[in-house]
Structures are given as structure tokens and as C-alpha cells.
Amino acid sequence: MRILVTGGAGFIGSAVCRKLVTEYEAQVLNLDKLTYAGNLHSLAEVANSPNYQFVHCDIGDRALVDGLLAKFQPNAVMHLAAESHVDRSITGSASFIETNIVGTYALLEAARGYWTKLSGAAKDRFRFLHVSTDEVFGSLGDEGAFCESTAYDPRSPYSASKAASDHLASAWHHTYGLPVMISNCSNNYGPYHFPEKLIPLMILNAMEGKSLPVYGDGSNVRDWLFVDDHASALITMVQKGRPGQTYCIGGRSERTNLDVVKAIIRLVDNLSPDKSIGSREKLITYVADRPGHDKRYAIDCSKTEGELGWRQSVTFEQGLEETVRWYLDRRDWWEPIRKKTYSGERLGLASKAG
């Protein structure tokens, strides 16, 4: 396999690159703009592999992307480059529109230009995988789950930008025949996760004895998917998925935010006890909820399991313990981020008018 990955220095993208190179011996070209959440240290495991290349690149730079496609000659593009944090989208939506919508358009056009010049088996084999989120579907009640036929109902600037990019990807398949596939996943977690997101933020704050901010009453529900399982599903899609299809990828691990925080507390208290801090449960602080906070997400991944033969291999309990242990052991990765890029401050502080 020769795979061009966009956003490969991000959380999910780096997991995809590591797995492609180490487990599949694929040739990988990683394009990443290296915005605040891009981290080349997440790719140290494969950085010196002859199968791996990195180019510092904005996917909106059409001339550069055209040249890289022509030179590298990939048989698939895995598009993971995106602005992805809901809280940041609330107070700074412009970069989400530029990257997630305009950037995806530019990449689709570059891929279409490359694909139309292919012929025979190379053209038949090519795939464009657009990686998206379950947040495009909006909010669930107490029952049911999102699936491939769920109507779109985005509620945040982030989810609206991803919904728009999903529709662009689908339109490029139906209009131009570009062999596009779309994935919609539930919340990812695991090692190398930028510490603005719930799980790594709670782990690091608990380790340091800092406040553990829980939005609202903590009853919002998310389905949690270990990042390596997600990477495996995406690679399986490239190998077995059908163009024009959407595949939902979930962890079948619904938890309230408060339950997740309490599980983290138990692990950190057990693995890294600190007499000066004591039980971390007293660090939980209930804060004003996020504007437009979706109540519940859940994924029905039966189609992905049945059609592609993919199965998750890591339970939430296993994955969370592995994640906590990783952050305990890898200060070299996260301490520079906490000191220089993001120290754990509250993001997305905005309110509805009226």
C-alpha cells in the first residue's frame, strides 16, 4: 500500500501512520500543517523508517499537493486533517471553516485531478477516505444510536464544518465518480491525545492535584473508542470498503462524563498516589455547561463489523488504564505542551445571545 495521510501529526492521524508503517509495512506520506495540536514527537516510532515521509504542508496549497500526489503516486488518500475541538470552535470558528470545509474541497479537487489521470488497475484501486465524526448527527435522547442513515443535525461550529465536508466528499463521489468513502466515529481516546480533550485533561490535572472541571452536572453521554481500534477500522476501510459508502465506527462503550472522570480518578489514585493530594475525587468541580452541549452520542457500528469484518479489540477499562499509564510514563511528551502550548485553561467560554 502507498497511502497519503493528511493530518498525520495529529492524535488519530499519528496512530494511523504508526500502524500503517509498523504493522502493514505500507509506504506512507504524511502531510500536516503542524498547527497547535500537530506534534511530530508522536511519530518518533516511525520517523526514521524508509517507509515513512513527512511534508510540512497546508492541504489548501493546491500546487504543492498536486505535485506530491504526482510524485508519490498513492493508491489511497486518508484525509484526517481537521480542526477538531468543539470548545475552540465556539470562540474561533474561522479556522474550522477554512480547514474543514475549504481545505477538504481543495484536497478533493487535487485527488480528483490525480485520479482522472490514472488508468486500468491503478484507477480501479484508488480510494479517498474522508474521516469524520458522529457529532454531525446532533444529539440523541435516552434511546437509540447513530447509524449510516441517520439524518445530519450538527449543533456546533465544529460539527457544522464537518457535516459540510462530509457532504462535499459525498458530492464528489456522486458527481465526478471519485471513489470516496466516509467514516463517522465516536469519541476517541488513548496515548498522544492533545490535553485539551476531556480524558487527557482530567488525567494530567489529577496527577498535578488541579481542579477537575466537569461541564454541567456531568450527565452528558459519549461512546468511547480506543484510538488504535479506530486506526485499524480506517485501514480496513481502505482495504475492503466500497466507494460511495459511509461506515460508522464506535466503541460500544457509553459513559457519562462524570463516570469517565471518576474512573480516571480511581486509576490515578491507585497508580500514582500522592499523600499531599489525597483522594482526587475532591478535585471535581462542576462548571457552567458548554453552549449547545449535545446530550448523548452512541454509535451502531453493525455495518462496519458485518461488511468489513472489523471488531474493536480494547475494552474501555483496558484502554483507559493503558492511557493513564502512558501519561504517567510520558512526561517527555506532554510537559512541553503544558508549558508552552496549552496549560489546561477553560476554552469555549461564550454564551447565547439573549
- 76 three-state secondary structure: strand
> Looking at the whole model, is its pTM more than 0.85?
yes
pLDDT tens, N- to C-terminus, the chain (354 residues): 999 999 999 999 999 999 999 999 999 999 999 999 999 999 999 999 999 999 999 999 999 999 999 999 999 999 999 998 898 999 999 999 999 999 999 999 999 999 999 999 999 999 999 999 999 999 999 999 999 999 999 999 999 999 999 999 999 999 999 999 999 999 999 999 999 999 999 999 999 999 999 999 999 999 999 999 999 999 999 999 999 999 999 999 999 999 999 999 999 999 999 999 999 999 999 999 988 899 999 999 999 999 999 999 999 999 999 999 999 999 999 999 999 999 888 887 765 544
Kindly write down the DSSP assignment for every residue of 88-126, as one continuous string: HHHH--HHHIIIIIIIHHHHHHHHHHHHHT--HHHHHH-
- Reported in sequence order, the residue ranges of the chain that DSSP labels E, i.e. its strands, are 2-6, 27-32, 52-56, 76-79, 127-133, 180-185, 187-189, 212-215, 221-226, 246-249, 254-256, 284-287
Spatial contact of 4 and 76, defined as CB atoms under 8 Å apart = yes
The catalytically annotated residue of 32, 87, 135, 166 is: 135
**Alpha-carbon torsion (63, 68, 74, 79), positive or negative:** negative
Spatial contact of 180 and 244, defined as CB atoms under 8 Å apart = yes
Q: Is 247 a catalytic residue?
A: no
The catalytically annotated residue of 134, 223, 254, 294 is: 134
Spatial contact of 42 and 200, defined as CB atoms under 8 Å apart = no
Contacts of 300 (CB under 8 A, 6+ apart): 145, 146, 147, 248, 250
Q: Is 158 a catalytic residue?
A: yes
Spatial contact of 109 and 36, defined as CB atoms under 8 Å apart = no
User: Could you give the domains of the chain?
Assistant: 2-193+227-253+292-315 (3.40.50.720)
The catalytically annotated residue of 158, 192, 297, 327 is: 158
Q: What are the cell numbers at 353?
A: 445571545
Identify the pLDDT of residue 353. Answer: 46
Q: What share of the chain is helix, strand, coil (3-state, %, to 5)?
A: 45, 15, 35
Q: What are the cell numbers at 252?
A: 460500544
- DSSP annotation of 8 reads T
- 219 three-state secondary structure: coil
Q: Is 134 a catalytic residue?
A: yes
Q: What is the mean pLDDT of the chain?
A: 96
CA separation for the pair 133, 186 (Å, rounded): 6
